[in-house]
Amino acid sequence: MRARKTATEKSPIKVYLILVLGICFALGILELIAGYGKFYRFLQIGFTFIPVLCAAAAKRLTGKRSSYHLSLKVWKNGKAWAFSALVPAVLVAAGAAVYFFIFPKEYSGILKYGVLFGSEAELTVRNPRVLSLAVIMVSAIAIPIQLLELGEEIGWRGYLLSFQIEKYGEKKAVLVNGVEWGIAHLPLIYFGFNYSMSNAGAPWTNMAMMCLTCVVLGIMLSYVTIRTGNCMYAAIAHGALNVIGEVPVFLTNDRESGLLGPNPTGLIGMSFLIVLALHQLEQRLAAGELWQGWQSQEDMKTALVFLRDDGSNITAAALYQRYKHLAEKIRKPESRVHDLRHTFAVLSLQNGDNVKTVQDNLGHATAAFTLDVYGHVSERMKEDSAARMQAYIDNMA
């Protein structure tokens, strides 16, 4: 009789996918059977929360943590924020412009935004460029929407992606992640979410197009998560996409999103996003034999710290020049690279590491040698220890 798997033996990929896809498709089947709209609305409202809940459950069931983290301090990486908040929105606006250029009769010149609030409110667009710029700026700072999309990103990119990279390698993992993300959307798309049910071959063509959309967007969202190690940047990009992505269809005469556009869920609407995704794949994910660095999360544990763009080791000269540049910036031009070793040893001892541990980390032959070199630190630690003991005794008196 086969023994039951322990928590550490369970696959976080399987557990997460069983949970998230199981919930999405179960709600879709219930809606198909009942037909009251309740299950569809529940799925629509809860779609951003289901992934994060499933990630939390998978973590508890498997005991495995993702290598990516979540930090709201996005201002610490200005370039990543600018890319996430602005680039996707600009590309969506460009895709919509191309769509209306090809199909000028689709463009109404009137932004029928009232549908969002259940009214007939509208705005005459006198300058499309000004409108595009305004919407791009709004989408970049739409923090509530970005935080809402964090639920999806914690699950799909923040949790699942790292395990997929460990299993499949980076390129395949990113593509698989996008496909599975698209599959999770299928129950929603079947009932008319994101696409017009009057599209040719609907809902099946709509479902196929949504899978393509998720692969394209998934590459970009995975790319920014991998580069930063923080899924918050993916949530920013996701939120920006959702804000500006709904605007183009409100400029059409029939307000219906087709398979070609104008929203970024259509082939023309996402055309510039496709170009970006292909560029990102070419840059790193499709490096293939040119990539000489780590291939999985397991490899990263023993990988080189300083790498070139192709994963090969950086030269000592280049590292030295970069170090001296940083040393001059902090007004320590005389500092040597070897001084970092001494700094590490001193800080280790001062923060409680025992001498044997420091000896092993430094590669010294004996602990006695380490004590000889850093004896002054040990003496200071003894003095600090004596002072703490004296303070303790004084408090007892």
- Is 214 domain-assigned? yes
Is 116 in the same domain as 265? yes
Give first-to-last CA distance, the chain, whole Å.
66
Is 245 in the same domain as 372? no
CA distances from 158 to 81, 182, 392 (A): 17, 17, 46
- Is 156 domain-assigned? yes
From 271, 287, 303, give the residue that closes a domain: 287
- Is 1 domain-assigned? no
In 3D space, the residue among 243, 238, 232 whose CA is nearest the CA of residue 213 turns out to be: 238
Residue range of the domain that includes 92: 64-287
Phi, psi of 260 (to 5 degrees): -100, -25
| DSSP assignment letter at 3 | P
From 287, 321, 347, give the residue that closes a domain: 287
> Tens digits of per-residue pLDDT, 20-59?
999 999 999 999 998 778 899 999 999 999 999 999 999 9
- Is 165 domain-assigned? yes
Is 74 in the same domain as 164? yes
Q: What is the dihedral of CA 175, 177, 181, 186, to 10 degrees?
A: 60
d(CA 309, CA 282): 12
Is 348 in the same domain as 221? no
Residues 167, 249 contacting (CB under 8 angstroms): no
> Tens digits of per-residue pLDDT, 181-197?
999 999 999 999 999 99
Is 89 in the same domain as 158? yes
d(CA 279, CA 286): 9
Is 90 in the same domain as 224? yes
Residue 301 banded pLDDT, cuts 50, 70, 90:
low
Is 179 in the same domain as 252? yes
Query: What is the count of structural domains for the chain?
Result: 2
In 3D space, the residue among 282, 287, 285, 278 whose CA is nearest the CA of residue 310 turns out to be: 287
Is 206 in the same domain as 272? yes
- Is 54 domain-assigned? no
Is 279 in the same domain as 383? no
Is 273 in the same domain as 194? yes
Residues in the chain: 397
Q: What is the pLDDT of residue 1?
A: 44
Mean residue pLDDT of the chain comes to 85
From 223, 257, 287, give the residue that closes a domain: 287
Is the pLDDT higher at 245 or at 318? Answer: 245
> Tens digits of per-residue pLDDT, 207-263?
999 999 999 999 999 989 988 888 999 999 999 999 999 899 999 988 889 999 899
- Is 265 domain-assigned? yes
Residues 122, 114 contacting (CB under 8 angstroms): yes
d(CA 310, CA 332): 32
- Is 293 domain-assigned? no
Is 124 in the same domain as 240? yes
- Is 363 domain-assigned? yes
pTM over cut 0.75: no
Is 88 in the same domain as 152? yes
